[in-house]
Structure 1
Amino acid sequence: MSKDRVAHLGDFTLTPAVLRVIAWAVPVGAVAAVAALGLQRLIGLVTHLVFFGDAGSSLAAPGAGHPAAWLILLAPVAGGLIVGLMARYGSEKIRGHGMPETIEAILVGGSRVAPRVAILKPLSAAVSIGTGGPFGAEGPIIMTGGAVGSILAQTLHLTAAERKTLLVSGAAAGMAATFNAPLASVLLAVELLLFEWRPRSFIPVVAAVATATMLRVPLLGGGALFPLHAVPTHIGAWPELLCVPAGVLGGLLAVAATGLVYASEDAFHRLPLHWMWWPAIGGAIIGVGGLIEPRALGVGYDVIDSLLTGRGGMSLIVGILVVKTAIWSLSLGSGTSGGVLAPVFMIGAALGGLEAHVLPHVAPGFWALVGLGAVVGGVMRSPLTGVIFPLELTRAWPYVLPLLIGATAAYLVSALLLKRSVLTEKIARRGLHLSREYAVDPLEVLLVDEVMSSAPPDEETALVICIDDTLREAALQFAGAHVAVAAVVTREAPDVVIGHLTVEHLLEGRLRDLLAERHRERLITPLPTRPRATLSA
């Protein structure tokens, strides 16, 4: 095959226009970092006002001050009622944990987010979490950061693809500033939000995430969020093999929690009440759970730290595993405002803490970290994020192989047992379909001359395709010109028609892909065995 035939093609379709998007991604990342700080301070303020009676703004566990039983029971109800009112009379988009709404804005909304969502989402999340809601701040900050990027993009003369890039840049930057986890934030953007892995979007997202992470140090401090000390450099084959069953259990817990969330949502939909009242009912569930295990309330970073450092006792482990899973799943189905990552961290760490009483000892918090990565991989269906996130949270880099094994095993179980994750099921219930399998387009690797007809077209057509164009480029030209047939020429003689291409020819690329998926054949035949010699009589 001649090199000149593909000389005009490259690995990527990157143009200098990306430089403009990168330039705008930097301030988006900076604003998202400030928004992450503001949301954390707002959550802390509401928590202090409700449970401690002061005007502090640091993140605090609602149960740390031993509040009265009536306060534990009624505060989440009041918070749920306020969130319901904000959703009904402000914007219904603030309901839920943020990521499905962000995905929906990308899929069908042209990456447009209303400005009021950027204000109401963090406010509603602060009320929900600050009054005891067992949620994380990351979902709301992802939606808020995404709104920042989207609003800026809407003021500029950009394409929908460029708006998507700035929206995801803000979302990933907000997450990076919250957790000081830049690599995991970029991976989550690729695995869940961008729906592509292309330089045009990857590079601006990294620019925004890097900006937010650098600003995090003066705003929120540097270092690991949950640092682990005395991490062994050698784990051993036996504990690493046991990460497979640990990952399977994490995947099963992820499946159960996901099922519980949507069983709860179905139950709320059957209530003869307006959805505005549902978060208050979810708050009642939270309050009852808080009476049983007060440490299950709120964001719970202190509990996660205790579990990951091996300081969590059996009562805490069982309490979190049962109560946190129940109140998080059931109340999230009510449509209140709050994220999923911090609760998933806590539930996964509790599962690993329980497994540590059965599995061989490696180091304090080792199995808790494996459990955390497994449940993240199973719930989010983003295995690489499930590996890198725990590593960046703890800086326990020698645990990369155990986490890779555990998160992948959980991902396998979750993908086999569930059609959709806790993030995408909500989108499907709105009549939208999202495929999260990324592959090279078969039309991108075939050229026109491999499938074209050498006869001239039967009808006159003004659309002309070059013989060395890819079938993907041909499909784009067909769609843009609203035609089903094109004349084929060479670049050297663009006025000489040498054949034609039709939509049916494009199916050849899909057919080859189908055959690669379904046709089985044996390429190497085993050596024949000689028949055994028998003794004659």
Structure 2
Amino acid sequence: MAPSEPVRIPPQVPPGEGAAAGTGQPFRPGEARTPRITAVLDGRVAFLGLLATALGLALGFIAEGLLRLIGLVTNLAYYHRFSSSFTSPAGHHLGWGALFVPVAGGLVVGLMARYGSTAIRGHGIPEAMEQILLNESRIPPRITLLKPLSAAVAIGTGGPFGAEGPIIATGGALGSLVGQFIAMSALERKTLLAAGAAAGMAATFGSPVSAVVLAVELLLFEYHPRSIIPVVLASVAATAVRYSLVGSAPVFSMPILASPTGTALGIYIAVGALMGLASVGVTKAVYHLEDTFERLPIHWMWWPALGGLAVGLIGLWVPRTLGVGYENIQGVLSAQLVGTTLLTLFVAKFLSWAIALGSGTSGGTLAPLFTLGGALGALTGGLLAALFPHLGVDPRICALVGMAAIFAGASRTMLASAIFVFETTLQPLGLLPLLGGCAAAYLVSALIMRRSIMTEKLARRGVRVPEEYASDYLDQLLVRDFASRNVLTLNADDTLREARAWLEADARGAAHHGFPVIDGEGRALGVLTRRDLLDPARTPDAPLRSLIGRPLAVALEGNSLREAADHMVRERVGRLLILDEAQRVVGILTRSDLLEAHAERLRHSERALARDAGAPLPRPGQAG
């Protein structure tokens, strides 16, 4: 029996008297099933890659269409003209009349959420994560239409959000929709959802690498070729469409940066740590405002209109806060916004965005956080450059670090944040400060705040979100290293009466619950449990071979413990025989052996922690 090939596989049968359930045909003792060998990739991944590529191409055009839809709503609401050009509402001439535009937009979004779908509320990524974790990545089809429409209304009427969040949510919904129309597993559907989301982000900003990394850090909950390849193909396809439509120039252009000195690099990392503190404050403020809205004695449908009122009032004070505000990010990075203008933008944008998002309207977090982080970073850098000019601090690099680090701290997407700012500015000399600043922000945020702005809402609903991606421990271990070698076997030609007598006389049998049955040549025919042997309904004079009621569930010494554990679940057994090539029993693997493997992992971990802390080491067999 070759290690990678299963032996003859008869139909699955439950314990019985030797007949295959539902077939009426007896099986031959000795027939066995071995674990499925785990494959890294198969032809199905190529099929998903083709679907993801088509999805990416479609989302390249959809993203452009949503931007034009936002532009159309903005032009109609603020300039009373029919045009789809993407423009800022900050230059309107409505006077006090502009106060009611965000209110009207909030009212429309509230109606769409109540009578369409409540899933359009919020910035979309937590909702997509919830569908992945709880609903096999099945997003209702109507979200594919309602999410972009509601976002276009909210942002076009002055909502202080970026277009990327709704586009990411729309892409994820479209990927899920494709996965629901075509027969596929939940894992494959999740891959298409993540591919759609990544394609939406890549199509908006021309940032395929950060889009892939964001999908890994927030949506896939794994790093595996079967998932990464389709996501990459979707992101590249969407970016290609963007390049064909608007060109390949960076979204946020800025002057060429100088290489940072060692001292300046340390300061940029400290700025990242400051952004980590800011991300904690921003996250807590958003959820505090959300809790405040929850306590209002009116239906939640009206909350976006109230949030719109705050947006309108703040917009009268600082018109720059209205709309997506990409021009604000551009102004911060090119040092066109400085001093009190920056400080006013930071305060006003934060209040407008936090209140609007807390009200449950449809909008995103990425662009507003980049605006806040960029403004705060530029302010810090400008102050340091004025007070300590000899340090060589560049306020523009501080703005870059602030943008990426505040999002890294708030969302816990350290790599995606750093790569995104690099891709959207194409400043290679800023990459090192970005990595250091994002790492510092992530560290500070994680030490202070248990959950991120993406996962807090899910945690409040009782959803547990994976926070670490590690290789499967059981997949690294082999059966031969954990199988028990002291196997007690029964002779197939013995009678049940003889087996019972042996159980009563031999104390060794008391520690075992399953016994392999072997023939005269030592080959395994099946397994009988203690319950089988002591069943009073059995005929005492029946030979043991006649009591075998199901095919053998076996493993080979070269199988991994993960393959063996999965095989136990499929076969609904608590033990697997370990056979050699002649089908002779050389060991047995039980559920207790699998637990012992995990206990060994815990002991190693606790020894390392105890060694670092100077505490007594755990004793062998003590898992803590």
Q: Output the TM-score relative to the length of structure 2.
A: 0.80
Equivalent residue, structure 2, for 1:317? 342
- Letter paired with 1:359: L
Matched, 1:496 2:584: yes
Segments of 5+ residues of structure 2 without an aligned counterpart are 5-34, 386-391, 489-513, 516-526, 529-549, 615-624
The match for 1:266 among 265, 280, 291 is 291
SS in 2 for 1:433: coil
Q: CA separation in 1, counterparts of 2:37 and 2:190?
A: 24
Equivalent residue, structure 1, for 2:543? none
Contact 2:554–2:577 (CA under 8 A) maintained in structure 1: yes
- Letter paired with 2:197: A
Does 52-61 or 158-167 show the bigger shift?
A: 52-61
The match for 1:451 among 459, 479, 482 is 482
SS in 2 for 1:196: coil
Contact 1:451–1:505 (CA under 8 A) maintained in structure 2: yes
Equivalent residue, structure 1, for 2:64? 37
Q: CA separation in 1, counterparts of 2:86 and 2:410?
A: 25
The match for 2:331 among 297, 306, 313 is 306
Q: CA separation in 1, counterparts of 2:433 and 2:605?
A: 31
Matched, 1:402 2:402: no
TM-aligned CA deviation for residue 378 of structure 1: 0.7
- Judging changes above 3 Å, is the alpha-carbon distance between structure 1 residues 67 and 249 closer, same or farther for their aligned structure 2 residues? farther
Contact 1:12–1:199 (CA under 8 A) maintained in structure 2: no
Contact 2:257–2:429 (CA under 8 A) maintained in structure 1: yes
- Letter paired with 2:186: A
Matched, 1:350 2:375: yes
Matched, 1:390 2:417: no
Equivalent residue, structure 2, for 1:124? 150
Does 341-350 or 274-283 show the bigger shift?
A: 274-283
User: Any idea what the Cα deviations from partners look like across 1:398-419, whole Å, max 9, x if unmatched?
Assistant: 1111111111100001111111
Does 80-89 or 211-220 show the bigger shift?
A: 211-220
- Letter paired with 2:216: V
Equivalent residue, structure 2, for 1:200? 226
The match for 2:132 among 80, 84, 106 is 106
Q: CA separation in 1, counterparts of 2:602 and 2:355?
A: 42
SS in 1 for 2:142: helix
Contact 2:126–2:458 (CA under 8 A) maintained in structure 1: yes
Contact 1:192–1:436 (CA under 8 A) maintained in structure 2: no
The match for 1:485 among 552, 559, 575 is 575
Equivalent residue, structure 2, for 1:333? 358
SS in 2 for 1:158: coil
Matched, 1:84 2:174: no
Equivalent residue, structure 2, for 1:534? none
Rg bigger for which structure? Answer: 2
Q: CA separation in 1, counterparts of 2:278 and 2:106?
A: 27
Q: CA separation in 2, counterparts of 1:143 and 1:449?
A: 47
TM-aligned CA deviation for residue 275 of structure 1: 1.2
- Letter paired with 1:473: E
Please tell me the root mean square deviation across aligned C-alpha atoms, in Å.
2.0
Matched, 1:466 2:563: no
- Letter paired with 1:415: A
SS in 2 for 1:365: helix
TM-aligned CA deviation for residue 364 of structure 1: 5.8
Equivalent residue, structure 1, for 2:25? none
Contact 1:12–1:198 (CA under 8 A) maintained in structure 2: no
Matched, 1:296 2:321: yes
- Letter paired with 1:162: E
Matched, 1:24 2:55: no
TM-aligned CA deviation for residue 11 of structure 1: 10
Between the aligned residues of both structures, percent identity stands at 46
Contact 2:338–2:379 (CA under 8 A) maintained in structure 1: no
Segments of 5+ residues of structure 1 without an aligned counterpart are 526-537
Contact 1:261–1:330 (CA under 8 A) maintained in structure 2: yes
The match for 2:94 among 60, 67, 87 is 67
Q: CA separation in 2, counterparts of 1:465 and 1:293?
A: 69
Q: CA separation in 1, counterparts of 2:132 and 2:38?
A: 26
Q: CA separation in 2, counterparts of 1:10 and 1:227?
A: 50
Q: CA separation in 1, counterparts of 2:345 and 2:39?
A: 47
Q: CA separation in 1, counterparts of 2:160 and 2:600?
A: 49
- Judging changes above 3 Å, is the alpha-carbon distance between structure 1 residues 102 and 29 closer, same or farther for their aligned structure 2 residues? same
Contact 2:381–2:395 (CA under 8 A) maintained in structure 1: no
User: Any idea what the Cα deviations from partners look like across 1:271-290, whole Å, max 9, x if unmatched?
Assistant: 12111111111111212221
Q: CA separation in 1, counterparts of 2:74 and 2:163?
A: 13
Contact 1:35–1:144 (CA under 8 A) maintained in structure 2: no
